[in-house]
Structure 1
């Protein structure tokens, strides 16, 4: 009786400097439908030039077949010829410093290259935690790929979509509105070093403009208590985080309590989902700022009046080290 061919994870980096959403909708979705890999997910990243990291699990030859199809698509639909390499080279230095990463050679537009898949065991809790995260990543990727056709020509919808998914997921994870307000504040601080001064100055105005609509939307979501596929996947991944998984989350720091380690997991899940949606870190910081104010009101609490001051100090301290 023939034995099943062994499978493993493969990673392809598609350096697409414009129209990444179109690549995902028009090339990656049909490719996944055709190849039916045992596992799949994607991320967006900056190293070596903005690119999509497509991870596929399957037998030998799978990555070569996928790479050929993606190169063919990029050749027929070139994009990013106007990419400013000099400007990005400077930006890459800042990103690398903020994330304790190395820079990489900037690739020509529409380069498709194989890369080693390096699971983040320290962030997700060893092999068992990474396996749970990979299951979440696939659900998240499928949800985003289904949502992107609605967002491609309407980028302003992205923030609202991300807010709804975060609120559903945090509620599914057992957070009360007060817990969620605190999480959003922490999320804002986490991504604040990426915010440009000119954008930060617009936040009070954006809060005044969008808080009423977001508050109504939040009220409807809280009343419905419907987690959706991503919220359900978040809850399942957190349920899989047993004592051994939590102990292996070294990114939380030595001696971190279980609650802090779970927050690292939850933050990682939600950030990667927002990344797939196409949010950049400064937009995630804004999302945290808006979410904190909206959920504080739903919890009957006063929003933290020191949040902007805390953000400014944290941002300055991080940028001083970059």
Structure 2
């Protein structure tokens, strides 16, 4: 019997880490379905949860979701602080069934899309397992760990791996710029700031990254590491070429940051730190 993705949007204006820990975590454990989630703001802050459900279980799982969501929103009501007249908002503290639109071209093709969804699942499972230890300050280290393991699983040359990091930085760094200021000057300024910040954290970060790169992966990350290795190997077996796979890897890295709750304006910093750790591992000075 074919399974399908059930797409559930959980609109909630308060702490999404708590919602993941107390609502999403127990629900996915009870259903036993393959799943993944992302954080999103369109229509109001919410979690987009996808569950791969067998048709015969759909009614039961919908009932479980409704009951769990109602109990959570009753126990932890939230209130939106600001109104956005130009934005169409969904009702707050609600569960909405909104169809899942696969980004097939972003992740390869029809054959490879299920592989991407597996990767989303490995990433989501790690974040849910660690969610009670993730906060804005610790999310940086979690993100660098996930980045290093993802890139190690890709098994590409140092040149190509570093190029993935550098293109990622180039794509996200402009989000820090003031529109009216000179872009080249701002790029130089922020890269200098990043270098200064990295120098402060370098001893701890490079030591931890080297351990991960050499295969000394803690138990909490082993399923994520093995899963990414399998996914990338399958992508290559299906004929996805190096350049396209690099683009797909950048999307995996970004969505990993999203699941951790990393703000978009911090993504360039995190990838800069990741890149510097890899340069250390490769012996590039």
Distance, in Å, in 2 between the alignment partners of 1:177 and 1:159 is: 23
Distance, in Å, in 2 between the alignment partners of 1:49 and 1:82 is: 9
Shift of 1:204: 4.2
- Partner SS state of residue 56, structure 1: strand
Taking structure 1 as reference, are residues 57 and 127 closer, same or farther at Cα in structure 2, changes over 3 Å only? same
Distance, in Å, in 1 between the alignment partners of 2:283 and 2:3 is: 51
- Partner SS state of residue 95, structure 2: strand
The answer as to whether partners of 1:177 and 1:299 remain within 8 angstroms in 2 is yes
Which blocks of at least 5 consecutive residues in structure 2 are unaligned? Answer: 179-185
Q: Does 1:175 align with 2:166?
A: no
Match of residue 206 from structure 2: 215
- Partner SS state of residue 21, structure 1: helix
The answer as to whether partners of 1:170 and 1:231 remain within 8 angstroms in 2 is no
Taking structure 1 as reference, are residues 298 and 241 closer, same or farther at Cα in structure 2, changes over 3 Å only? closer
Deviating 4+ runs (over 4 angstroms)? 176-179, 196-202, 242-245
Deviation string 1:243-295 (CA, Å, 9 cap, x unpaired) is 7663xxxxxxxxxxx21111122122222222111112222211112222332
The answer as to whether partners of 1:143 and 1:230 remain within 8 angstroms in 2 is yes
Shift of 1:148: 0.8
Q: Does 1:29 align with 2:25?
A: yes
Q: Does 1:51 align with 2:46?
A: yes
Shift of 1:216: 2.0
Distance, in Å, in 2 between the alignment partners of 1:23 and 1:265 is: 29
Shift of 1:77: 0.7
Match of residue 268 from structure 1: 251
Match of residue 182 from structure 2: none
Equivalenced residue count is: 268
Match of residue 235 from structure 1: 229
Give me the TM-score of the superposition, normalised by structure 2: 0.83
Match of residue 320 from structure 1: none
Match of residue 75 from structure 1: 74
Taking structure 1 as reference, are residues 170 and 242 closer, same or farther at Cα in structure 2, changes over 3 Å only? closer
- Partner SS state of residue 128, structure 1: coil
Distance, in Å, in 1 between the alignment partners of 2:233 and 2:281 is: 27
Match of residue 20 from structure 1: 16
Give me the TM-score of the superposition, normalised by structure 1: 0.74
Deviation string 1:213-260 (CA, Å, 9 cap, x unpaired) is 2122223223345472222222211222257663xxxxxxxxxxx211
Shift of 1:127: 2.4
- Partner SS state of residue 84, structure 1: coil
Distance, in Å, in 2 between the alignment partners of 1:190 and 1:21 is: 27
The answer as to whether partners of 2:27 and 2:64 remain within 8 angstroms in 1 is no
Distance, in Å, in 2 between the alignment partners of 1:131 and 1:155 is: 31
Distance, in Å, in 2 between the alignment partners of 1:224 and 1:134 is: 24
Match of residue 35 from structure 2: 40
- Partner SS state of residue 241, structure 1: helix
- Partner SS state of residue 234, structure 1: helix
RMSD between aligned residues? 2.6
Taking structure 1 as reference, are residues 289 and 269 closer, same or farther at Cα in structure 2, changes over 3 Å only? same
The answer as to whether partners of 1:15 and 1:110 remain within 8 angstroms in 2 is yes
Match of residue 83 from structure 2: 85
Worse-matched range after superposition: 187-196 or 271-280: 187-196
Taking structure 1 as reference, are residues 33 and 184 closer, same or farther at Cα in structure 2, changes over 3 Å only? same
Distance, in Å, in 2 between the alignment partners of 1:10 and 1:82 is: 27
